[in-house]
Amino acid sequence: DAGVIQSPRHEVTEMGQEVTLRCKPISGHNSLFWYRQTMMRGLELLIYFNNNVPIDDSGMPEDRFSAKMPNASFSTLKIQPSEPRDSAVYFCASSFPGLAGSSYEQYFGPGTRLTVT
């Protein structure tokens, strides 16, 4: 398996522009997570989906952020309009909780490094 795939790997944009980050989870995984990592705030969970349904979006910083998972193999995280403080590395991770008592190990993608100028 190719692992979790994220695109783009790097994104540089100007303040006010719309940014869309993409994620393809590992085939067969039914939980998907979006994280943001900065030096100041560390690793933060933004939102997660189970079976394509958003379960908890309490980590989404504000209305400028939105996430969708239209099917089991694709998710997007959109920032509109972007601001310099959104500059961070955004990770997508997936897992397969499976049967009770089994592992909830998350597999992380390579991340998207976003710079907003």
Partner 1 sequence: ELKVEQNPLFLSMQEGKNYTIYCNYSTTSDRLYWYRQDPGKSLESLFVLLSNGAVKQEGRLMASLDTKARLSTLHITAAVHDLSATYFCAVDNQGSQGNLIFGKGTKLSVKP
Residues that bind partner 1 (CB under 8 A): 31, 33, 42-43, 45, 48, 50, 55-56, 91, 93, 95, 97, 101, 103-111
Is the backbone of residue 46 left (phi > 0), alpha (psi -120 to 50) or beta? alpha
Q: Which is nearer to partner 1, 64 or 113 (CB)?
A: 113
| Residue 59 or 81 with smaller CB distance to partner 1 | 59
Query: Considering the complex, what minimum distance in angstroms separates the CB of residue 16 from partner 1?
Result: 28
d(CA 77, CA 64) in angstroms, rounded, equals 10
Q: How far is CA 108 from CA 3, 13, 39, in A?
A: 8, 24, 18
Shortest reach from residue 74's CB to partner 1, in Å: 18
Name the residue nearer to partner 1 (CB basis): 67 or 93.
93
Residue 25 has phi, psi (to 5 degrees) of -75, 170
> Three-state DSSP class for 101?
coil
Q: Which is nearer to partner 1, 31 or 64 (CB)?
A: 31
Instruction: Give the nearest distance from C-beta 81 to partner 1 in angstroms.
Output: 27
